[in-house]
Chains A and B, each alone.
Chain A
């Protein structure tokens, strides 16, 4: 197992390397440059050239890339010119906020999705199944950015049950209750689609498992229905749902881009959008690398969890 983990982590290196090259190239292809972004209306060619020189952007692209790579090995991701602070500080701070949001959303959608999927399968064609199927369809058919706005309108503006934006109260607060209070709406919005996807797959997986011969065996053994479903069937269904949760992690992090913007959550998704628009190459680079590492790690974790449950997958 450790050898396998090491192998997977090693496989991450070419992906990261490839990504960093792609990010560099893409940022070079995007019209507009950081100097114009900073100077705004005052971006005369002369001013731009001077600012580029000050920022070290007058060097050739490969040269810039090599410098960046060299610094990377010393743990230095460079300095963001749009934020005027070290990329690493910003990226880590933002990432932890995203981790809280996306992590809790992923947790919520996994729990709700699995629960709904199992209930739906067990009560197949009953009212609970129909209700859940309907809710799931509504969930995966709703534009999440729009849903976020509606939730703000309903629960922050009209009823003021929850704050409209931010991560902590601006005055006082700062404890866990405060965080949860701020977290609730964005987390909910972010988890809607993934909950639907997971619930659907859990239902299908459960139904498929419930037809299996070993479930008949379990019944023939005289086990209670509860044990048959939650002990025998659910465990197998989980094996096929776990990788889906891993993939959903990617979608949740992607969706976080909208949700963080709408709820002003200080996460890495909204940071990357801003960084792209201000052509802050190093910030984009740092952010993308971190997000990629997280994505790969989550999927590795999903793989490990899967093989922990299913002995047939152990290597």
Chain B
């Protein structure tokens, strides 16, 4: 037995010496992802997690200028929009090739959109393409010549360009799609600064530098030789890996952990506000929140400063209305958030004759952009209780949660947490605040808010091609919605990332995309 013990200790010794966690090699960036990617086909995915890889593999006709949400040319050199807002003609950049060597041209653009939109297309079955409706306003696509392509829309649609900059608008290699069919998502080919090298399921996705990548608008070949994405679903484990040197970049760091990285000289913390809104949907159809005064009272009752500064540790800003300030051109700067004023809330409740009916509050346990939903929900519950509104929390795992909330709150709940990250000021209010967007009509207006004036403003803004006019309309809308308080406006998230100090030229984008073309790690 003594021999056995000795053997055990010998093995233990061997194990712990087997390789003291090596730091990652130079010019290779290891990124901690929150999940295994679903697919690397940009048209088939919806998750930010997948976008973080895809945005480095592919390019679209246009992109957001780094550091902003402004549109600038990328694969298209220039474009012309007809006065009626129905025709978009793009001039493509010459000499661009996909990673598989096939040329990028007008036919390729047409193939990309047809694959997504036309059920009769021979490669439509390589989908499904859940976000294809971003381009549902496209009537047809004309190949004018090999480097000119024209989109004809069924109706004017202002967010069109912005949607082209979204991952759903990225260009994939038609040859690769034809070659791999359904498996294209695991054999991606685009035109980006990195090309796909390897996908070891549940371990890593490896991208390597695309040596052919060069053009005036596009940067030179990337400084990094390779990027390795590691899926680590558990936030704690991700943090442990970061702390123990197994990662160079970690995204979506919990706010409390951020403090720890800030204090540690081995790491750099990055933050960037973006078009994100965290709010509570209030059920305006039935129950106490059918009364505007009670909705306003709830807005007064919640201490948003405490939420943002204490619970979220400054990783978010207080929200005033339905449009995030990241859409600078469309944001109404004069809008002041509902202050924390329990007395005022009390007075409004009394005025409305609120009797202390118990409220049901849907809380999710996680989910894209939901920050720390259970803790925040619990804090809000306590604030509402403090002004005499008893709240009962029901918490659900994200997919069940969406199933319940998207179907509408009627008969189930009075409040529900929600968060959106969007690429255009149109998206969120259009899908969630219009009278014609009730769940029964296929929209996301789960709280049944309806104001004809808001509907009118949104419809006009959507059809207008004049950005100044759109801005004016959105600003009017914000004032009305804030007053009507169909939601409890809470916070705009500042996304964050932690990098090791070895990583240079790393910058987060307001679009929430992770762009690594310029990042370096000597």
Q: How far is the CA of A181 from the CA of B133 in the complex (A)?
A: 48
- B420, CB-defined interface residue at 8 Å: yes
Contact of A171 among B30, B47, B402 (CB under 8 A): B30
Provide the residues of chain A in CB contact with B522, threshold 8 Å. none
Q: Within the complex, what minimum Cβ distance (angstroms) separates B457 from chain A?
A: 22
Provide the residues of chain A in CB contact with B398, threshold 8 Å. 277
- B411, CB-defined interface residue at 8 Å: no
Closest to A79 in B: B182
Segment among B13-21, B288-296, B511-519 that sits at the interface with chain A? B13-21
Provide the residues of chain B in CB contact with A264, threshold 8 Å. 231-234, 237
- Assuming the contacts A163-B21, A163-B244, asked whether A40 and B44 have C-beta atoms less than 8 A apart, the reply is no
Contact of A30 among B30, B244, B400, B404 (CB under 8 A): B400
Residues of A in contact with B, size category: 35 or more
One digit per residue, 1 when the CB lies within 8 angstroms of any chain B CB and 0 when it does not, for chain A 167-190 equals 111111100011011001000000
Contact of A85 among B16, B186, B230 (CB under 8 A): B186
Interface SS, A side: helix
Provide the residues of chain A in CB contact with B201, threshold 8 Å. 83, 85, 90, 93, 266
Contact, CB under 8 Å: A40 / B241: no
Q: Within the complex, what minimum Cβ distance (angstroms) separates B281 from chain A?
A: 12
- Assuming the contacts A55-B128, A84-B38, A84-B186, asked whether A160 and B21 have C-beta atoms less than 8 A apart, the reply is yes
Contact of A149 among B232, B236, B244 (CB under 8 A): B236
Contact, CB under 8 Å: B402 / A157: no
Q: How far is the CA of A94 from the CA of B28 in the complex (A)?
A: 27
- B131, CB-defined interface residue at 8 Å: yes
Q: Within the complex, what minimum Cβ distance (angstroms) separates A100 from chain B?
A: 13
Contact of A45 among B130, B182, B243, B439 (CB under 8 A): B439
Contact, CB under 8 Å: B203 / A171: no
Q: Within the complex, what minimum Cβ distance (angstroms) separates B232 from chain A?
A: 5
One digit per residue, 1 when the CB lies within 8 angstroms of any chain A CB and 0 when it does not, for chain B 168-194 equals 000000000000001101100000000
Q: Within the complex, what minimum Cβ distance (angstroms) separates B34 from chain A?
A: 11
Q: How far is the CA of A31 from the CA of B397 in the complex (A)?
A: 10
Contact, CB under 8 Å: B127 / A54: yes
- A41, CB-defined interface residue at 8 Å: yes
Residue total for B at the interface (Cβ-Cβ under 8 A): 64
Contact, CB under 8 Å: B399 / A47: no
- A119, CB-defined interface residue at 8 Å: yes
- A236, CB-defined interface residue at 8 Å: no
Provide the residues of chain A in CB contact with B16, threshold 8 Å. 161-162, 184
Contact of A156 among B25, B240, B368 (CB under 8 A): B240
Interface residues of A in 127-171 (CB under 8 A from B): 149, 152-153, 156-157, 160-171
Provide the residues of chain A in CB contact with B236, threshold 8 Å. 149, 152, 262
Provide the residues of chain B in CB contact with A50, threshold 8 Å. 128
Contact of A43 among B36, B237, B402 (CB under 8 A): B402
Q: How far is the CA of A79 from the CA of B236 in the complex (A)?
A: 31
Contact, CB under 8 Å: A82 / B38: yes
Q: Within the complex, what minimum Cβ distance (angstroms) separates B51 from chain A?
A: 12
Contact, CB under 8 Å: A168 / B203: yes
Contact, CB under 8 Å: B130 / A42: yes
Provide the residues of chain A in CB contact with B286, threshold 8 Å. none
Provide the residues of chain B in CB contact with A178, threshold 8 Å. 18-19
- A290, CB-defined interface residue at 8 Å: no
Q: How far is the CA of A171 from the CA of B246 in the complex (A)?
A: 10
Q: Within the complex, what minimum Cβ distance (angstroms) separates B401 from chain A?
A: 8
- A23, CB-defined interface residue at 8 Å: no
- B228, CB-defined interface residue at 8 Å: yes
Contact, CB under 8 Å: A161 / B186: no
Q: How far is the CA of A310 from the CA of B467 in the complex (A)?
A: 85
- Assuming the contacts A47-B130, A171-B30, A266-B202, asked whether A277 and B397 have C-beta atoms less than 8 A apart, the reply is yes
User: Closest 6 interchain pairs by CB?
Assistant: A266-B202, A32-B403, A164-B240, A54-B128, A181-B18, A32-B399
Q: Which residues of B contact A (CB under 8 A)?
A: 1, 4, 14-16, 18-22, 24-25, 28, 30, 35-36, 38-39, 41, 44, 46-47, 127-128, 130-131, 133, 182-183, 185-186, 201-204, 228, 230-234, 236-237, 240-241, 243-246, 368, 397-400, 402-404, 406, 420, 431, 439, 442-444
Show 27 A/B contacts (Cβ-Cβ < 8 Å), sorted by A.
A30-B400, A31-B400, A31-B403, A38-B130, A39-B130, A42-B133, A43-B406, A46-B442, A54-B127, A55-B128, A82-B38, A83-B36, A84-B41, A93-B202, A94-B202, A97-B202, A115-B1, A152-B240, A160-B244, A163-B244, A165-B234, A165-B246, A171-B22, A172-B22, A177-B19, A178-B18, A264-B237
